[in-house]
Each structure stands twice: as structure tokens, then as C-alpha cells.
């Protein structure tokens, strides 16, 4: 029996790894266990509850004002005990978080084969996004098997001299999670969803906003809020709903600049099912999130990405997302164009999603079974 250890620590990782956990559990030839670092705590737990996953190991590492130095050291140190105890044959990490980078190192030290889900994404600018670009490059050098979401991601790995036999193009597991969840949430009896129903005005076009990226802290978020304020004031038939990230560097400027505007609703971060419901109800999405860039096209929602670079160029090339950075004029211009030009909106919303068909987990498991 092959022993799998699936490690993650944040809400986005949990969403993208949950379908892999649940798919592996269907196969008797695998003993699959889950370890969470809880790099994020509350937001992680919401996802675990929704997907009905109970971790076998919970490092519970989140601390107030944690920094990258101490978090990295804590993950490596604490994972040693888990790896020594379980002795996995395969360890699965995801994407580009500090958990991913540190868990890759710890698992390599333990002698396990390390598998990278969502491998090969690159901006090739080590400070954008920070620290994610370096995290994914470090994981890429360490990992034994690379599950790339797209051909472009595979080509990035080949350029770094990764052996082609160790790379599998799978699509992105976030689409597996989304397609499974999107229909379920529309019929759920859920407190947060019921609250959203009472909060939003169904007669207005709904713009969903998310933002949290470290590189946008400071002037970036001031620019973002300035743009959102202009959009709200000049489009009274539009309602902006913004689940505000708990980081003080985000929360402070957002509430200072956007409170008390009638058609802007600032709310607390949403559990995953409520967020999926809100994506489905939205007219367009403005975000700096990598995951939302992948999810929204499957729901037919145009996306404006508040970043200057992206490790997901396929969506830009396909036309399902537009990079607007934190440039006030560009955010306002592109938003107004999507609101006013029906043909432009329709063309963008009906494009093919380059990130998968919902069968990424099946492909990963088939690959591991045949090693």
C-alpha cells in the first residue's frame, strides 16, 4: 500500500487540495493522510468543514503578527515529527505558499517523493509576486513529480531542465473543486448565503471585489479604493460587494476610503460556499487573486486582475482576464467598458477556460498508480 501525505496550510490550498484528498480516499491501494500547518486558521477551517475533511495532523502554527522567517522555520521543524511518524512514500504540496516551500524542503529531507500540484507557474520576477514566485521555484527544484495545470506551465518546467517523464499536464484542481461546489451551493441552506441574499440588490449589476496581495499594500490599495469609489459614484445601477481581507494593511485603507458609499458593501471574508455563490451571482469580478483568475471563467465571469504581472498568462492570452494593475484610470476604464458594451462583455464571458475540465485529480491519481 502506498502512503500519501497531503500537506497544506491556507484557504486557497485547501480548496485546491480538497478534491484530491477526497478522490484518493476512494482507492484502497492508498493510505492517505492530511496534514495542515494552519498557516491560516479560521479561513482554512471553513474550507475543511465544507469539504468534510478532518486533518490527521494539525500543526496549528498560526500566530499573531507571524513573519516569513519564523513561519518557515516552524513548518520545517514541526513537519519532521509528522514525517518521522507516518513515513509517507509520497508527499503532495500545492502551488506557492510558505507552507508549500517549507514542506517541500522538510519532505525532501525525510526521503519521501515530493509531488507538486499546480506546478510550473512562473513570472520569472522573484519579487512579483513576493514571496510566492520564489516559493514555487524552490518547490520546483525539489519536487520529484510535477502536475502542471497547462501546457505553458509544462514548458516552463522543461526550460528549467525538469525531465519530461516527471511532468503531467492535468488541468487545475481548483476547477474540480469549483464544478463540484457550484451546483451544491445554489441549493444550500447556509447562514452566510442567506445573509448575502438579504444584502445584495438583485436589480443592480453586481461587481465582486477581492484583494489581499502583499505587493499591493500601501499605495496600491489606495489606488484600488480610489478606482472603486469612482466606479460606484458614476454607476448608480451597479453594486460593489467587497469581502475585505483581515490583514490590517488591507482592512485599514479599504474601510477608511470606501465606508459610507451607498452602493459599496464591505463585508467580512466569506466561507468558500458563500464565495462560490457570490461569484455565480456577480456580473464581473475585480481581484488580485490567482485562484479567482482560474475559477471565474468557468462561471462565465470576466475578470479584471489588479496585478502588473501574472503567473497565469493563459487566461490573459485566452482573453478571459485583463491585467489592470493598480492603475486607477485603467481599472475604471475597463470596468466601465464591460458595464456599457454588451458585445464586449458577452465575448469575454463566453470564452473557453484554459485551466481545465474538472478531471485533474483523476489524472494525478492515475499517474501515481502507474509509477
Q: Locate all alpha helices (DSSP H) within 200-322, ordered by sequence.
A: 219-234, 248-258, 272-281, 290-295, 313-318
| Contact between 138 and 96 (Cβ < 8 Å) | no
Residue whose C-alpha is closest to residue 156's, from 140, 142, 170: 140
Please pick, among 96, 176, 192, 295, the residue that the annotation labels catalytic.
96
Catalytic residue check, 118 = yes
Rounded to whole angstroms, how far apart are CA atoms 244 and 266? 7
Ramachandran region, residue 166 (left: φ > 0; alpha: ψ -120 to 50; beta: rest): alpha
Provide the b/e sequence for 285-306 (b: ≥16 CB within 10 Å): bbbbbbbbbbbbbbbebbbbbb
Rounded alpha-carbon distances, angstroms, from residue 45 to 9, 52, 271: 10, 10, 9
Please pick, among 74, 78, 132, 294, the residue that the annotation labels catalytic.
132
Catalytic residue check, 212 = yes
The CB-side HSE value for 65 (13 A sphere, CA atoms) comes to: 0
Catalytic residue check, 214 = yes
Catalytic residue check, 245 = yes
Catalytic residue check, 132 = yes
Question: Residue 66: CB partners within 8 Å, gap ≥ 6?
Answer: none
Rounded to whole angstroms, how far apart are CA atoms 160 and 151? 14
Please pick, among 41, 212, 217, 363, the residue that the annotation labels catalytic.
212
Please pick, among 31, 41, 180, 214, the residue that the annotation labels catalytic.
214
Rounded to whole angstroms, how far apart are CA atoms 109 and 83? 10
Please pick, among 94, 116, 213, 245, the residue that the annotation labels catalytic.
245
Q: How many residues does the chain have?
A: 371
Catalytic residues: 96, 118, 132, 212, 214, 245
Amino acid at each position: 500500500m502506498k502512503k500519501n501525505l497531503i500537506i497544506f496550510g491556507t484557504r486557497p490550498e485547501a480548496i485546491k487540495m480538497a478534491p484530491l484528498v477526497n478522490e484518493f480516499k476512494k482507492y484502497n491501494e492508498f493510505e492517505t493522510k492530511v496534514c495542515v500547518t494552519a498557516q491560516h486558521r479560521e479561513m482554512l477551517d471553513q474550507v475543511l468543514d465544507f469539504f468534510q475533511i478532518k486533518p490527521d495532523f494539525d500543526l496549528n502554527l498560526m500566530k499573531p503578527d507571524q513573519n516569513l522567517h519564523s513561519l518557515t522555520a516552524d513548518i520545517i521543524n514541526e513537519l519532521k515529527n509528522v514525517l518521522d511518524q507516518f513515513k509517507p512514500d509520497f508527499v503532495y504540496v500545492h502551488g506557492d505558499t510558505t507552507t508549500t516551500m517549507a514542506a517541500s524542503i522538510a519532505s525532501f529531507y525525510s526521503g519521501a517523493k515530493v509531488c507538486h500540484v499546480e506546478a510550473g507557474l512562473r513570472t520569472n520576477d522573484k519579487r512579483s509576486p513576493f514571496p510566492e514566485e520564489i516559493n514555487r521555484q524552490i518547490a520546483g527544484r525539489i519536487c520529484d513529480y510535477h502536475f502542471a495545470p497547462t501546457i505553458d506551465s509544462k514548458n516552463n518546467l522543461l526550460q528549467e531542465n525538469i525531465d519530461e517523464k516527471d511532468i503531467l499536464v492535468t488541468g487545475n484542481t481548483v476547477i474540480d473543486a469549483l464544478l463540484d461546489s457550484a451546483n451544491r451551493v445554489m441549493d444550500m441552506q447556509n447562514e452566510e448565503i442567506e445573509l448575502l441574499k438579504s444584502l445584495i440588490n438583485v436589480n443592480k449589476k453586481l461587481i465582486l471585489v477581492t484583494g489581499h496581495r502583499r505587493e499591493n499594500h500601501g499605495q496600491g490599495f489606495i489606488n484600488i479604493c480610489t478606482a472603486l469609489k469612482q466606479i460606484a459614484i458614476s454607476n448608480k445601477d451597479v453594486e460593489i460587494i467587497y469581502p475585505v481581507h483581515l490583514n490590517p494593511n488591507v482592512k485599514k485603507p479599504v474601510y477608511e476610503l470606501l465606508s459610507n458609499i451607498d452602493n459599496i458593501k464591505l463585508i467580512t471574508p466569506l466561507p468558500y460556499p458563500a464565495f462560490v455563490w457570490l461569484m455565480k451571482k456577480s456580473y464581473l469580478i475585480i481581484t488580485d487573486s490567482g485562484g479567482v483568475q482560474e475559477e471565474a471563467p468557468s462561471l462565465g465571469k470576466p475578470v479584471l486582475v489588479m496585478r502588473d504581472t501574472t503567473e497565469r498568462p493563459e487566461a490573459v492570452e485566452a482573453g478571459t482576464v485583463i491585467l489592470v494593475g493598480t492603475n486607477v484610470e485603467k481599472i475604471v476604464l475597463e470596468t466601465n467598458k464591460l458595464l456599457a458594451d454588451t458585445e464586449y462583455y458577452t465575448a469575454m464571458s463566453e470564452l473557453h477556460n484554459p485551466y481545465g475540465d474538472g478531471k485533474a485529480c483523476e489524472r494525478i491519481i492515475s499517474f501515481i498508480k502507474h509509477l
